Chains A and B, each alone.
Chain A
Amino acid sequence: MNPLLAQFLAEAADLLSQVDEGLLQLERDPSDPELVNEVFRAAHTFKGSSGLFDFPELTRLTHAAEDLLDAVRSGKLSLDSGMTDDLLAAFDLIRGWLAYVTTHERLPATAGPAGQSLIVKLRGPLGGEQATVNPSAATVPAGPVIDRAPDWLSLFDEEWLEKSATWLSSTSATMRFIRFTPDQGCFFRAEDPLHLVSQVPALAQLDLIQPFEWPPPEEYDEYACLIGFVLATRAARGELDYLFRYVPDQIEIVELNGDAIRRHLTGEEPPEPRADESAVAAAAQSQAENLELARDAYAILTAAQRSLTFGESLTGVRLSAVARSVAAAAAALGVPVETADPDAETLNAQLTSLLTEARPTPDETPPPPPPVERAAPVDRGRADDPGGQVGTRILKVDQEKVDHLMELVGELNVAKNGLTFLADAAEEEFGSRVLSRRIKDQYSGLHRIAEELQAAVMDVRMLPLSVAFSRFPRLIRDLSRRLGKTVELVTEGEDTMADKDVIEALGDPLVHLVRNSLDHGIETSADRQAAGKAPAARITLTAVADGDAVIVEIADDGRGIDPDKVKRKAYEKGLISEEELETLTDSDAVDLVFRPGFSTADQVSDLSGRGVGMDAVRASVEKLGGAVTMRSQLGRGTSTRLRLPLSMAVTQVMVVSVAGQRFGIPVDLVVETVRVPSGELGRVLHQDVVVLRGEVVPVIDLARALDMPWTADPAADRAILIVSMHGQRVGLLVEQFHREVDVILKPMEGLLAYADEFSGTALLGDGLVLLVLNMKEVLSLAARAQ
């Protein structure tokens, strides 16, 4: 993708969320001028950037939004929720477009009509008729401003000027006239004025500005630029400003129509003489400007002489025009001449004497560029630079780079772990305890650095929970309006930090839970008042750090869950037995909502339904290594608590081997490792069990569950790993225990991607790939195998 477009898309995401957030706050507090300003600025920036691309629909729509916001900003309109809806809808549409642009690099074909209907809505409060009339109405009154013809117009060929004036008058058109005076040293900045001139679009005429006097050939410096150009073009002012943007100080552009040129040719004053202004301007002229004027005047005289010498015999009108320019130039040089009724010969003679007399004395000759031009940039520099850049130094780093860094840290850990194998080998295979000790020393030094590095990279990956929470103000506003409920959102602890993977993964479960609350938990205002509650419901999103975990809680003060109703529903759906229907405690009953196939709403709602239930929420949280619990009080509200690891990047696993192959089990799940004599394993109802401290724990043969051939040595003790799943203890019969290691878990790829019994792979220090078990699946495999 075009990097500019990529940049725009990245910027657009930020701007869109600014606009969204701003609009919502604004609706609550429409009087805050700073808020309006913020939203307006974001929309404005958006419009500006969108103009860089060929997305006219996008520019038009953002323009309409900007106009509406501008009217709000200037106090002409006050923002109501209808306008907010339209604005939000506009930016939603844009968000959709940009998603399309991300993959297709163009707007969807439907953009035109979809945008137009919103533009009409947005323009409505501004006086809707503008929406259609706008393009022509806006451009007509702003015609070009006609400048007064400058003296340097005399440098153009007069015959051409006459023809152009006639042509411009008959077409009511204007042309841009440029004087281009490069400075002497410009070649040393690799400037090539003629090359620039050759790029002027629609160039109509080009003439030279020659030096007052050419130096003698032996003194001529070929690298000093002595000439300049005057040119006329039909190109637009914007094109010219762009073309000459590197040399603005060498350029003067005027816009002239036929009349202005004709007035110059006949020496008439412009219709509205601006005597005061010109007097003030004249007073303000610096010495350098006078010199420049002299330079121009001299060039005009030279040109006049040229046309007298080389042109075909001049006709009356042309001759008097030349005479007038000569008179004007002579006056500027302070040597007025009488040119009342000239003929070509007298004029030529006058010119010759003028050119001799009025030649600027050497010390008067301004070495181009004049000193003013030199000084100006320095002054601007000082004004612009009041002491360095303002603002914090924050790097925007591509997420992939951080991910890569994290991978490298993982590999470093693995390489580091390799040292312990080497230390063992040094002792066992080569019999050197000393070397083994030294390697271990090296290892511990390296270990410390690796740990710090890992912590540093993890820190870079940390994001505040506000990133996950930011979508909820909008979501809750939209849903509550649709459901006709009044809901207030309170967020707490949004500055709590967690790994970006956790934040990202948290998004969907949170949305689901909030939708559930709005849909099922929260009553209408009328119902609430009938129940003696405040008419506005409250949803609270809270985040707190808890050691290595972050706890996110979504609480509402809605109607709560009726445990009896839940139990009955579960029984009807065949999820619980009749016995359970009687015996389940209220809190266990609430937990039933997490069972697959359970849904408390009588109908699948268009909001939270969508075919996934709370079981999906629990599954996705558990996949992150987290847990979900729910508490509810009938009539008082429900709170759902998600507990997630602060970081998912590094997982501690316990390595065990089964049938000669090693597997990893997340340490979080491991309760203890025990060795029991084979005789102590018992059997209850076809299930192996072991009795530990009086508790009967079922034992699963991991080899059998994974369908691997292995028979334990009958005489040896049994190695059993006790894990805890949903509060249940289960023993895993394994061949051997190994150490605990920190690994970077990678998702399963290729053929293994479909093997649910594994949650990922990790590279071990000795180069082996470790399969990490998904215990939940393993247990259900084991259950099926029996």
Chain B
Amino acid sequence: MPLELNETTATLSDVVTVDEVEPLVAWLRTTIKPKVNLRRCNHLHTGALQALLLFQPRITSSPTDAFLATQVLPLLRGSSGGPVLPESEPP
């Protein structure tokens, strides 16, 4: 499952496609202080990145994917303003 939604945490894994964008946005809209775990995410659809930029959830775990970790994560950090927590929470 590319998208697992819990009460406060969304876990994005593997390839997050455009199909995951709608449920992710719905969840972000309704969740107070949302947290997103990107550790096992390999690809983020532009729509999903955009949603993370808009709703600015706390990124709880940095991705292992090199591109996401080195290029995309800094963009999310810049806009959300929050530091990325060390990998404290298990996925």
Which of A's residues lie within 8 Å of B, judged by CB? 182, 187, 190, 192-195, 197-198, 203, 205-208, 210, 214, 217-218, 220, 222-223, 225-227, 306, 309-310
Mask of B15-29 contacts with A, CB within 8 angstroms, 1/0: 000100110010011
CB-based nearest A residue for B24: A222
Report the bound CA distance from A193 to B55 in whole Å.
Answer: 20
Residues from chain B with a CB closer than 8 A to the CB of A197 are 71
Q: How many A-B residue pairs have CB under 8 A?
A: 68
Q: Are the C-beta atoms of B72 and A192 separated by less than 8 Å?
A: no
The contact of B46 among A195, A210, A218, A220, by CB within 8 Å, is A195
| B75 CB-CB contact with A under 8 Å | yes
Which secondary structure dominates where chain A touches chain B?
Answer: mixed
Give chain B interface residues in 22-80, CB to chain A under 8 Å: 22, 25, 28-29, 43-47, 49-51, 53-55, 67, 71-72, 75, 78-79
- Dominant secondary structure at the B interface: helix
Which one of A182, A222, A306 lies within 8 Å of B51 (CB-CB)? A222
Q: Do B54 and A223 touch (CB < 8 A)?
A: no
Q: Are A210 and B53 in contact (CB under 8 A)?
A: yes
B: interface residue count bin: 20 to 34
- How far is A148 from B22 in the complex, measured between Cα atoms in Å? 41
- Chain A CB within 8 A of B81 CB: yes
Q: Which residues of A are found within 8 Å of B46, using beta-carbon distances?
A: 182, 187, 192-195, 225, 227
CB neighbours (8 Å) of A190 from chain B are 18
Nearest-Cβ distance from residue B3 to partner chain A, whole angstroms: 13
Q: 10 interchain pairs (CB within 8 A)?
A: A194-B49, A194-B72, A195-B43, A197-B71, A198-B43, A210-B53, A217-B55, A220-B54, A222-B25, A222-B47
A210 CA / B22 CA spacing, docked (Å): 20
A206 touches B72 (CB 8 A): yes
Q: Which of B21, B72, B79 contacts A223 (CB 8 A)?
A: B21
- Are A208 and B53 in touch, CB under 8 angstroms? yes
Report yes or no: B67 in contact with A198, Cβ–Cβ below 8 A. Answer: yes
Q: Are B78 and A227 in contact (CB under 8 A)?
A: no
Q: How far is the CB of B66 from chain A (nearest CB, A)?
A: 10
A192 to chain B, nearest CB (A): 5
Query: What is the minimal beta-carbon distance from A313 to any residue of chain B, in angstroms?
Result: 16
Contact check, A208 vs B75: say whether CB atoms are below 8 A apart. yes
Expressed in whole angstroms, the Cα–Cα distance for A49 and B18 within the complex equals 38
Closest to B55 in A: A217
**Does A306 lie within 8 Å of B78, measured CB to CB?**
yes
With CB as the reference atom, state the residue of chain A lying closest to B23.
A222
A310 CB contacts on chain B under 8 angstroms: 78, 81
A227 near B49: Cβ-Cβ < 8 Å: yes
| Given A192-B45, A195-B43, A223-B47, A214 and B78 contact (CB-CB distance below 8 Å) | no
Task: Kindly provide the distance from the CB of A310 to the nearest chain B CB, expressed in whole angstroms.
Answer: 6
The smallest beta-carbon distance between A238 and chain B, in angstroms, is: 22
Query: From B45, which residue of chain A is reached at the shortest CB distance?
Result: A192
